[in-house]
Amino acid sequence: MESSDFQTQLQTEMLWRETEIRGLNNIIVQLSNDATKNMVRRATICLLYAHVEGFVKFSFKLYIDAINSMNLECSKVKSVLTAAVYYVDFMKMNNPDNKNKIFKRVLTDDSHLHRIYRYEEFFERITDVLNQKIKIEDGYINTEGNVGKEVLQKLLYQVGLPHTLLDRVIGPLTRLMNKRNNIAHGTDKSLIDNAEFNTFYNCCLDIMSELSRVLFGAYQNRDFLKQANS
């Protein structure tokens, strides 16, 4: 995928979300009745969070799919991305039911020996592993049902980027997530004033804009390679 195509897809996805968010904010600004304004703010907070979560999922999946499409060998990319390709293999390595066939019966409970056997199996294939083409499966990007600050930092780490890249804009994100959850579950009936709403509104727009900038820059600069720009 060309960098321009990657950027276009990000911008197209962000644009329709921004248009909807700004449109709702314009409606709120024009309302004169405080009770109605509060009601619409509460509903909009749920939508703000939904747009953050939706854009986060879309953006990281696009980044992974774009890397997959480049047909790179695992030896060429950052180790965390190679680990993502072989996540299932690592799960097998830690599966105590996978035992050395020679000693499976006579040393059934020798966990150390069987663990060594599983590691041996993997490293016997290490050359094939490193020559394998990158193909990270769907599901690697998992928002765990809630996109807060920690989850977003984890996702950055999982794609080989510094986990602090979005710290400038994600300060209010966990508060937005909790507010949305409490409103949606009916446990928060409090009034939402203009300052609080604007904090969440700006947080949503800032995260989408900054995440788009960060992932486009990373893709354009080939930050997924072991040596960027190589």
C-alpha torsion 22→24→28→30, nearest 10 = 80
pLDDT tens, per residue, the chain with 230 residues: 889 999 999 999 999 999 999 999 999 999 999 999 999 999 999 999 999 999 999 999 999 999 999 988 888 888 888 877 776 565 555 655 545 454 444 445 556 555 565 555 656 655 666 677 888 877 788 877 788 899 999 999 999 999 999 999 999 999 999 999 999 998 988 899 999 999 999 999 999 999 999 999 999 999 999 874 44
Round to whole Å and give the CA distance between 132 and 72.
8
Q: What is the pLDDT of residues 5-49, one digit of tens each?
A: 999 999 999 999 999 999 999 999 999 999 999 999 999 999 999
Alpha-carbon distances, residue 203 vs 3, 15, 149, 207, 208 (angstroms):
26, 16, 12, 6, 9
Say which residue the tokens 């390709």 belong to. 85
Q: How many CB atoms lie within 10 A of CB 83?
A: 15
First and final C-alpha spacing in the chain: 17
Q: What is the pLDDT of residues 141-157, one digit of tens each?
A: 887 778 889 999 999 99
Whats the size of the chain, residue-wise? 230
Q: What burial class does residue 9 get, using C-beta atoms within 10 Å of its C-beta: 0-12 exposed, 13-18 middle, 19+ buried?
A: middle
Predicted TM-score of the model (pTM): 0.81
Say which residue the tokens 């004033």 belong to. 193
